[in-house]
Amino acid sequence: MNIHFVGTGGAFDYDFGNAAALVEFQGQHILVDCGPSIYSELCRTGYAALVDGILITHLHGDHVGSLFTLILHLNRRLTPARKAVILCPSAAFRDHLKEFLAFSLLDPLKYVDFISLQNTPWIGSIDTTNRHECGLSSFAYYFTDGDELIYFSGDIASADVCAAFLETRCEAKITVFHDVHYERVPTHVYYHDLAQQLAGRDVYGYHVDPRRMPPESAIPLVAEHPEFLLRSRNS
Ligand SMILES: [Zn+2]
């Protein structure tokens, strides 16, 4: 199992792309989020045709801005063409996604198979609704392979959800990818709080411009770790 970020920035960090990751396990490629920069980056790196399943953390534009383009790519640009697969953490969120996609695709069921995440035993979800923004459905996801666990926070205002979840796990190798912010805002985790709440954990921050990192920050960033960045398949 491995994870490579397609982009590591927030909504306005265009130099780093929108935060999204491709998780690979047993030859399957699962894309987590698909903001505006993600479709073009997947094409540039040669991965667009390889996306087997899509997970969405929440419906903010910087996480779904090119989702309809990727869906149409799979349906219209591939030979043989195939429907996109969206893995849904709940029936309510599935309906939410359908409603959202109906604005661009009219009948999303023509282009997308919405499949319950319960059918994919190596991926789990944590409902973080109201914890990023009040009234907004949101989810964190985790991926397991034997003694290894990868945690992907999505956008959330506090790392206590992650800390409490990890208390219940016994995998030997746990890697956490968490959103982080360098100012106190109600929607993202402040870097000091993140370092405190996940002290002792292997944590990497994302959804931020690394050039804004205060020198005293103890949270390493995905953007500065090339081993976690998606490289072109041909390089
Ligand atoms: Zn958001």
What pLDDT, on a 0 to 100 scale, did the predictor assign at position 4? Answer: 98
Query: What's the 59 CA to ligand 1 centre distance in angstroms?
Result: 7
User: H or E stretch including 41?
Assistant: helix 38-45
Helices (H), 77-177: 91-105, 160-167
Contacts of residue 157, Cβ cutoff 8 Å, sequence gap at least 6:
131, 132, 185, 186, 187, 188, 189
- Distance, in Å, from the CA atom of 4 to the CA atom of 24, rounded to the nearest integer, reads 8
Tell me if 125 sits within 8 A of 140, measured CB to CB.
yes
pLDDT at 52 over 80: yes
Say what the pLDDT of residue 146 is: 97
Q: Give residue-wise pLDDT tens across range 60-118.
A: 999 999 999 999 999 999 999 999 999 999 999 999 999 999 999 999 999 999 999 99
**Any idea how long the chain is?**
235
Position 200 scores a pLDDT of 96
Task: Tell me the CA–centroid distance for residue 62 and ligand 1, in Å.
Answer: 7
What's the pLDDT tens digit per position in 134-192?
Answer: 999 999 999 999 999 999 999 999 999 999 999 999 999 999 999 999 999 999 999 99
Is 235's pLDDT higher than 90? no
State mean pLDDT over 217-232: 97
CA of 134 to the centre of ligand 1 (A): 11
Residue 186: cis peptide before it, omega within 30 degrees of 0: no
**How much is the pLDDT for 85?**
98
**Residue 234: pLDDT over 90:** no
Distance 42 CA to ligand 1 centre (A): 21
- Predicted TM-score (pTM) of the model is 0.97
How many angstroms does the Cα of residue 155 sit away from the middle of ligand 1? 5
pLDDT in tens, 191-222: 999 999 999 999 999 999 999 999 999 999 99
For ion ligand 1, residues whose CB falls within 5 Å: 60, 155
